[in-house]
Amino acid sequence: MHPVLFEIFGVPVSSFGVLMSCGFLVGTWITTIRMREEGLDPDLWGVMLLCVLVGGVAGAKLYFAADTALRSGAGWLPLLGAASGMTWYGGLLGGFLGAALGARLCRISLKVFADCVCIGLAVGQAIGRVGCLLVGDDYGRPTDAPWGVAFPHGSPPTSVPVHPTQVYEILWLLPVALLLWRRRRASPFLCGEYLALHGLGRLVIEHWRVNPELALGLSQAQWFALGLIAYAAATLGYYRRRTRIEGGPGVRVRRWLR
C-alpha cells in the first residue's frame, strides 16, 4: 500500500488523487481522438470536460453523502464537505447530467458525444481503481485465495486477506475498453455497449464486495447495474432499428437521445 506517494512542502499527495487525475488526463486524450474521428471540434472538449467534471464530482459527493446519511443517520452536510467519500454511480449520473448541459451549450449531439467519451471513461475508471488499490479502499470479502491482500492501513483497515476487487475491476475494464475501441465504427450506440458491459462486470464483482444487501439478495450497486443493463439493452435496440431504417450499419445517428 502507498496511500501517500510523496509530500510537497510538507503537504501529503494522495496516490488516489494522483491516479484519479491521471485517469482524467488519459480519458481526455482518448476522448479527443474519438471526437476527431466523429467529426466534432476537439476544441469543444474544454467546455464539455468542465461540465462533465463538475457534474461527476458533484454527483459522486451528493450520492455518497445522501446514501451514507440515510444508512447511518449522520448529518449529510458534514459528509458532503468531507475530503474523502465518493460514489461511482453518483458520479456517473452527475457526469451524464453535466454532459447533457455541455452538449446543449456546444450544440452537439449527446449521443455522439457519449459514444466518444465511453472508451476513455472505461480506461480512466481502471486507472482510478489502481488508486483505490494503493490506498486500500473498496476491497472485498475475506478470502483464503493465494491472491488475497491485507490492507492494514486501508479505509477501513484490515489485517485479514481480502479479495482485491479493485484488481478484478481493472482486469474487466481494460478488455472492455479494447473491445469498445475495436467496435467504435460498427456499434449503433457504443456508450450503450459500455454501460451494459460495465453493469455486467459490476453485477458479478459485487459478489465479492462487502456492500450490504438491499433487496432479493442483491446490493444497491447490483440493482443499479441491472438498471444500466436494462437501459443499455433498450437504447441499443432503438439505435439498431434506427440504423437499419436510415441506411445500414455505416450510418451514424447524430441526434439527441429521445
User: Structure pTM?
Assistant: 0.83
pLDDT of 18 above 80: yes
Q: Is the pLDDT of residue 193 over 90?
A: yes
pLDDT in tens, 132-188: 888 888 899 999 999 999 998 887 889 999 999 999 999 999 999 999 999 999 999
Question: What pLDDT is attached to residue 64?
Answer: 74
Residue with cell string 438491499: 214
Mean pLDDT for the stretch of residues 9-21: 77
Q: Which cell is 25 given?
A: 488526463
What pLDDT sits at residue 1?
A: 61
Q: Give 202's contacts (C-beta < 8 A, 6+ positions apart).
A: 169, 221, 222, 224, 225
Q: What is the pLDDT of residue 47?
A: 84
Residue from 195, 186, 202, 169 nearest 243 by CA: 186
pLDDT beyond 60 at 198: yes
Percentage of residues of the chain with pLDDT beyond 70: 84
pLDDT at 81 over 80: no
Residue corresponding to grid cell 443517520? 73
pLDDT of residue 111 exceeding 80: yes
Q: What is the pLDDT of residues 49-74, one digit of tens each?
A: 888 888 888 888 787 777 777 666 66
pLDDT at site 59: 82
Beta strands 149-151; 158-162: pairing state: antiparallel
What's the mean per-residue pLDDT of the chain?
Answer: 84
Looking at residue 252, its pLDDT comes to: 45
Q: What pLDDT does residue 72 have?
A: 67
For residue 209, pLDDT beyond 50? yes
By the 8 A CB rule, do 243 and 251 touch?
Answer: yes
